[in-house]
Amino acid sequence: MEKSFISMSDKNKKGYGAEKKVWDAVENAFSARECFAYWNYPIFHSDYDSRKEPDILLFDKELGITIIEVKGIRIDNIEFIQGHEWSYLNYFVEKVIPINKQNIKCMLCQNGILKYIINSRNVSWWPYRT
C-alpha cells in the first residue's frame, strides 16, 4: 500500500481553516505510514438522498478506517453539551450531534467503500480548543 493524501476541499467552505489545520497535522503524523487519506471525499449511498462527506477520511493498513470530524469552534462557542448533543453560541449552526455524523459516515465507508475492513474509529478534532 502506497501513501497518498488527496484534498478535495473547497477554500470557500465554512470551517476550511480548521480543517486545513487538522489536514496538515494528519499528513505530518501519517507521512511514514502505509495509508491514504482524503479531505472531503464524497460518499454516495443508495439509502440516502444526498451525499455524506467526512471532513477527513483516513485508511491505514494497521488502524483501518478513521473518520475525523473537525469542529472549528472555540470553547466560548459551546453553550452546553447534553449527552451527545452539543449546543452552540455564535456559530453557523445551533446544535449538532457529532457522533451521529461520524457513525453514519463510518457505516457508509464500511458498507460502500471497503466492506471487509473491520477496524474503524470516529474522532472529533478541535484545532481551536484552547
| Domain at 18, CATH number | 3.40.1350
Edge-to-edge strands, sheet with 4-7: 4-7, 35-39, 56-60, 64-70, 120-125
At residue 90, does pLDDT exceed 90?
A: no
- How many domains does the chain fold into? 1
| Look-up of cell digits 472555540 | 74
Q: What is the pLDDT of residue 104?
A: 61
CA 85 to mean position of chain CA atoms: 17
Q: What is the pLDDT of residue 107?
A: 61
* 10 assigned to some structural domain: yes
CB neighbour list of residue 4: distance below 8 Å, 6 or more residues apart: 36, 37
pTM (predicted TM-score): 0.73
* 130 assigned to some structural domain: no
| Look-up of cell digits 477496524 | 119
Which pLDDT band, with edges at 50, 70 and 90, does 28 fall under?
very high
Range of the domain at 96: 4-125
Sign of the alpha-carbon dihedral angle for 100, 106, 111, 116: negative
* 81 assigned to some structural domain: yes
